[in-house]
Amino acid sequence: MVSEIQTIKYGDIEISYSIDRTSRKTIGIVVEPDGKVIIKAPLDLEQQIIQESIYKKRKWIAEKIKLTEEIEKPIPLKHELVSGEKILLKNRLIRLKIHPYPNKRSKITYAFKILHIYINETLSQKEREEEIKRVLINWYKEKALNIITNRIDKYLALIDFRPHGIKIRNQKVRWGSCTKDGKLIFNWRIVMAPISAIDYIIVHELSHLKEPTHSTKFWSIVQSLFPNFKKCKEWLRINGLNLELRI
């Protein structure tokens, strides 16, 4: 349940935010890439306690908003689902090649930086575009699961706690999340990022299995598993908005 927009002052800055009440146990503050502020709060938490938490973190929120304003926003060009279009995989450009196909069931193959998509030739233009989009996103999800499953083993060898499952989802904002029952959820778009950034996201969510909040202890765990995490975190801050498939 999301509340209406509210505001709080920090100096001359007016911060607008909304409160999203969920089944979580603690308060969380999310500053989205576009500067939108969402306060994640437990369903039964008193409004006064939420307001006090926001007040204490107002400087931090203002600084995060300022950082989002410094990011050079990408030009929101649409990807055309045609042969020759270029998309990202592990921070490298690969090219689409669309083939007419007599079979009803679509097929996709990848070789030599070319992603071949075979689409039924009897489909209308609109149906063809929808089918290419569906096949392409499913391919990204499969790649994400394969890459994450392979990469995570490196870090599981260093820790004594384990996730209770890994899922790939279509998340609009988060790169990953950790559920209360120990499942790790990842945004399929992370496979567009460099391997180092993918590893950072994996380590970030693994660390939440041990420490659910972004405490000093949490960042110590991240640091011990991935010493170069700050560089990758900064890369995602600056380039994250470019990891998108605009269709």
Question: How much is the pLDDT for 203?
Answer: 97
- Which domains does the chain carry? 6-70 (no CATH), 151-242 (3.30.2010.10)
**pLDDT (tens digit, 9 = 90+) per residue, 86-142?**
999 999 999 999 999 998 899 999 998 999 999 999 999 889 989 999 999 999 999
pLDDT given for residue 2 in this prediction: 57
* 28 bridge partner residues: 40
Nearest residue to 15 via CA among 54, 53, 46? 54
| Res. 237: pLDDT tops 90 | no
Place of tokens 């969402």: 38
Q: What's the confidence (pLDDT) of residue 135?
A: 94
Tokens linked to 154: 């490196």
Summarize pLDDT for 174-228 with one digit per residue, the tens. Answer: 899 999 899 999 999 999 999 999 999 999 999 999 998 888 999 999 999 999 9
The predicted pLDDT at position 218 comes to 93
Phi, psi of 37 (to 5 degrees): -110, 125
CA atoms in the 13 A half-sphere facing the CB of 218: 11
Residue 68 predicted with pLDDT over 80: no
| Pairing mode of beta strands 37-42, 86-89 | unpaired
Q: Nearest-CA neighbor of 185 among 169, 172, 200? A: 169
Give yes or no for residue 74 having a pLDDT over 60: no
Quick one: CA torsion of 85, 88, 89, 91, rounded to 10 degrees?
A: 140
Is the predicted pLDDT of residue 1 greater than 60, yes or no?
A: no
> For residue 70, is it left (φ>0), alpha (ψ between -120 and 50) or beta?
alpha
| DSSP states along 180-236 | TTS-EEEEGGGGGS-HHHHHHHHHHHHHHHH-SS--HHHHHHHHHH-TTHHHHHHHH
Report pLDDT digits (tens) over 47-61.
889 889 999 999 988
pLDDT at res. 28: 87
- How high is the mean pLDDT of the chain? 88
- Which region, left, alpha or beta, applies to residue 216 given φ > 0 means left and ψ of -120 to 50 means alpha? alpha
For range 36-40, the mean pLDDT: 87
